[in-house]
Amino acid sequence: MMMINNMGGWARRAAAGMAAVLALGLLSACGGGTEQITPFEPRRLLVLGDEMSVLTPAPLPGRKYSTNALNSDDTALDCVARQIWHQVVAYQFNFSYAECNPKGVTDNAARIYAAPGAKTEDLIAQLERALVENGPFSNTDLFTVLVGANDVLDLYERVYLADPTADTASAINAVLQERGVALGRFINKLTRADVGDVNGPKLIVSTIPLMNLTPYAIKEAALRPTANVRSVLLGFSNTFNTAMRVTIVNDGRFIGLVELDGILNAAVTNPGNYGLVNVTQAVCAVEMPDCTVSGTDPTQGTLVPNGNANTWLWASDLWIGSTAQLRLGNFARGRALGNPF
């Protein structure tokens, strides 16, 4: 069995680093059946995470690791259409982004620190940058966090495939449990939920996808029939999500939890209920974030033959399309409006 030396120490180092950073400036139900009495009115939205939360910066701004809409005559990108999940939240509060700013707003209240390839340990640097650029956080700041899929992919590709045994999978699950716990502690410290201080920023956090459902996993399973790929990826995803869930203070006052894993599982189990016809293949024929869809016809663009950006679950082999992004965004908006922040 391949040994994973010192991997467990990452969580301890990450937790200590997270605490140090925070000291500088500092789906379910939301818990307890509580709801807002005074509407939550954030002054900023700060976005942490990986590809699923990225809007690309200049010189080609506003592209998504999903399906990108073109305008009505298909001559330019319409970054406001086919919104990714945190855009749904931002537009609820009339926020704009520097990366997606068709009206030329000068004071953009929605700010993206998410980056392609990000793993849980990268949240520390993302938060440091947010702190430097925005100053101390307060209870009028709203964060979104979606990260962890790249942790699963990295450990699967780099460690499990080198020695695809049950012992290796067990060792990886132990690492992912530590990372999920570290992420939960990071979230608690960021919101100050760990000390019960409601004056800290509020946060909408999503679970990661069940990576066994991705077109990537389906292809891997066909390529490696003896490696138990889909079962292993399911276990990795569940381990990470469960560790994060049980660690966060999920009583609704600090954190709004949305469950992308549950959304995707339901969509794959009953696609017709979600208006979907394909839940196993990628609709895009080009690499992310360059996939475009006609502004008037969801079957036209840089898509595979017979693809439909409205009725296919996956944009690429790894990343969800606009229908799933919108559904996740609607849940996130509901948390922002309904949780007793």
**Segment 68-77, tens digit of pLDDT:** 999 999 999 9
55 bridge partner residues:
64
How far is residue 173's CA from residue 155's CA, in Å, rounded to a whole number? 10
pLDDT-above-70 percentage for the chain: 89
Query: Cβ neighbours of residue 43 under 8 Å, at least 6 residues apart?
Result: 109, 140, 141
- Is a pLDDT exceeding 70 seen at residue 213? yes
CATH number of 36-338: 3.40.50.1110
37: pLDDT confidence band, cut at 50, 70 and 90?
low
Note the pLDDT tens digit of each residue in 97-109: 999 999 999 999 9
Residue 39: exposure state from Cβ atoms within 10 A (0-12, 13-18, ≥19):
exposed
Place of tokens 């292809």: 219
The domain spans of the chain are: 36-338
Q: Give residue 38's pLDDT.
A: 77
8: pLDDT confidence band, cut at 50, 70 and 90?
very low
Residues 192-196, mean pLDDT to the nearest whole number = 95
Of the two residues 4 and 311, the one the predictor is more confident about is 311
Residues 104-123, mean pLDDT to the nearest whole number = 97
How far, CA to CA in Å, does 340 sit from each of 40, 175, 251, 253, 329?
8, 33, 9, 5, 19
Q: Give residue 11's pLDDT.
A: 43
Question: Which tokens hold the place of 118?
Answer: 């990000």
pTM of the shown model: 0.90
Note the pLDDT tens digit of each residue in 136-189: 999 999 999 999 999 999 999 999 999 999 999 999 999 999 999 999 999 999
Query: Cβ neighbours of residue 188 under 8 Å, at least 6 residues apart?
Result: 194, 247, 248, 249, 254
Question: Which tokens hold the place of 299?
Answer: 């079957």
- Is a pLDDT exceeding 70 seen at residue 34? no
Residue 127 φ then ψ, to 5°: -70, -40
251 — alpha (psi -120 to 50), left (phi > 0) or beta? Answer: alpha
How far, CA to CA in Å, does 173 sit from each of 79, 167, 179, 257, 326?
38, 10, 10, 22, 30
Note the pLDDT tens digit of each residue in 241-260: 999 999 999 999 999 999 99
How far is residue 29's CA from residue 21's CA, in Å, rounded to a whole number? 30
Place of tokens 């605490």: 19
- Is a pLDDT exceeding 90 seen at residue 85? yes
Q: Give residue 31's pLDDT.
A: 39
How far is residue 153's CA from residue 337's CA, in Å, rounded to a whole number? 33
- Is a pLDDT exceeding 60 seen at residue 339? yes
Residues 218-223, mean pLDDT to the nearest whole number = 98
As a whole number, the mean pLDDT across the chain is 91
Q: Give residue 39's pLDDT.
A: 86
Question: Which tokens hold the place of 306?
Answer: 């017979």
pLDDT-above-90 percentage for the chain: 89
How far, CA to CA in Å, does 45 sit from each of 105, 146, 274, 327?
15, 14, 28, 19
What is the residue-wise DSSP string for 230-267? HHHHHHHHHHHHHHHHHHS--SSSSEEEE-HHHHHHHH
